[in-house]
Structures are given as C-alpha cells and as structure tokens.
Structure 1
Amino acid sequence: MRMLMVVLAAALLAGCAGSVMNDARSKSPDKVLTSDKPEKDVARCVQFAWQDEAVFGVDAAAYLEPRESGGTTVYTRSAESFVDVITEASGTTLNYYAQKSDFVAMRRMAAMATCL
C-alpha cells in the first residue's frame, strides 16, 4: 500500500511539473548555451551537478525525463529550474528556464555551465 502511495505521489508531482515546464517553454529561455558533447552526457552531468548537496543543500534533487519532441529535460522539484538538452546539427543546445531569478537559480545555471 505504501508503494502505491509513493507511485501515485510521484505521478501527481510529474504532472504538476509538466504543466509548469510547458508554460515556461511558451516563453524564451532564461539562458541558451551550446556544447560539442553528446546530449546524454551533458544531461547526466547537469543532473549530477544539480544533486550536489554541498552547493544546493537538502533540496539537491534533480531528475531526468525524455522530451516528447526529442532530447532530455533535467529538472528540480516543482520545476523551479529546468533545462532542455537537445541534439541539433550544430551540437547540443541547452535551454535553461527558472521560475524566479534568485541566487539558487543563478547557482544552478553556473553548475549547468560546467557541463559544456
């Protein structure tokens, strides 16, 4: 029964995060970066960087999710910050979005930039 509750809670959170991300994607990204590295490597690196408790404290959760239109999304709880990592002809593009422009969002962007 507990396992069912955990699965249900995760599904509900993913649904909420998805609508927040879709709303943000209707606007321009806060930052666009590019990399020569493969998409999967960059996405895993960003996830790992965002999970650094020494930098982000207790809220150092980061999740990977495939995008419907291709690529990978790395996001935090409630999609406070997320990045779409997309393979393009010129390399890998990272579109970074943050719900608010605060110290934590800037730190996540800096951590993401170390993965280029």
Structure 2
Amino acid sequence: MRFKLAMLGLALLAGCASMNEKRANGPAFSASTPKSVEQVSECVLFAWQNQSLAGAHYGAAIQPLAGGGRTVISAGEIEFADFNAAAGATKVSLYFQSGLMEWRKNRRIEAVKGCL
C-alpha cells in the first residue's frame, strides 16, 4: 500500500513543471492586441479572479515579468499568462499545467480573448 501511495505521489509531482519549463515548451495559446500591457494584463487578472470554475473562485495575482512585461498567475501556478510589449502591440502567451481538464483551459482562454 505504501508503495502505491509513493508511486501516486511521484506521478503527481511529475506533472508539476516550473514556469520556465512551461515557457520552454511553448504556449498553449498566444495572441496579440493593440492594447497596452497594463490594460490587457489587468483585464485578464480581474477576469480570472471573477471567473467561477466548477463553482469555485480561484485567486490570481499579477507580477512583473523579467525583462519587462507582466505575468498573471493563478493560485498554485495552474495557469499563467505572459504579457510583453512587441512593436506597438502586446503579445499574450498562455500556459497550463499538464493534465488540466479541457473545460478549464477553454474557460481561461475565453477570459483572455475577452480582454483582447
């Protein structure tokens, strides 16, 4: 029984990649908008904070992105979005933890699209 629990724990940890590892694998969704980094990142922050997922609201925060820009990140780093200024526009890149249910990904993508 202990062996099974240990294997389950290892399997769960294997799905938890760092933010930089997720970035290296490429975004699950990307887009650009003529809005400023500040406008679109704050819109996504508020959209994620107000979004109900399976009847629950999950926290989200905004932080500066190394090299400029911003990142909106959900509690537990389940998903995060990077916002970078690029040639008069804002590039948006959205990343998800592996094994996340498609309905949750789709809801987060819808929220981002609503801010573009």
2:102 counterpart residue number: 102
Contact 2:31/2:91 (CA < 8 Å) preserved in 1?
Answer: yes
1:85 counterpart residue number: 83
2:20 counterpart residue number: 22
Identity, % of aligned pairs? Answer: 31
Q: TM-score, normalised by structure 2?
A: 0.77
Equivalence map 1:1-80=2 (5 Å):
20-53=18-51, 55-56=52-53, 57-80=55-78
Q: CA RMSD in A?
A: 1.5
Output the CA distance in 1 between the equivalents of 2:105 and 2:75.
13
Unaligned runs of 5+ in 1: 1-18
Higher helix share: 1
Q: TM-score, normalised by structure 1?
A: 0.77
Q: CA deviation at 1:79?
A: 1.1
Q: Deviations over 1:33-89 (max 9, x none)?
A: 110000001000000000114x33433211101011210000101111110011111
Unaligned runs of 5+ in 2: 1-16
Structure showing greater radius of gyration is 2
Query: What is the count of residue pairs matched by the alignment?
Result: 97
1:114 counterpart residue number: 114
Q: SS in structure 1 opposite 2:26? A: coil
Runs (4 or more) in structure 1 with deviation over 3 Å come to none
- Code of the residue aligned with 1:114 in structure 2: it is G
